[in-house]
Structure 1
Amino acid sequence: MATGMSNACNGAEGAILREIATLAETGKVRPLIDPARSGLEQRSDTFRHLESDKALGRGVVDLM
């Protein structure tokens, strides 16, 4: 578990966070990332795409 998370992992919220962490570690849940990727120069296009109804999940801007 990440350092500094001990306070957040107490009580009902902590149990939920631990369950989500287990699901992520076992691959049962994955982040949803839009397949439309862009370079740093097109970052404004990426933000416009994310604001549209066509976006799916989070956007990625490649820095390399």
Structure 2
Amino acid sequence: MKIAIEEDKCCGAGQCVLVSPEVFDQRDEDGIVVLLEPNPPQEQYATVREAAAVCPAAAIEVHE
């Protein structure tokens, strides 16, 4: 699995961080998503997919 972030789409809602804090974080200054783990281990795949699904701005792309 590879994850891509479109920062210009991110609205800073933080749903990704709530669902998968091991993979996502937010910048302090503006709340934009930060990708901590671009190639997460398999045990985190489900939460990464959920984070992408709940992102209100569709800023997270998951490639399997």
Common fold, TM-score beyond 0.5? no
More helix by share: 1
TM-score if structure 1 supplies the norm length? 0.32
User: Larger relative contact order (C-alpha < 8 A, sep ≥ 6)?
Assistant: 2
TM-score if structure 2 supplies the norm length? 0.32
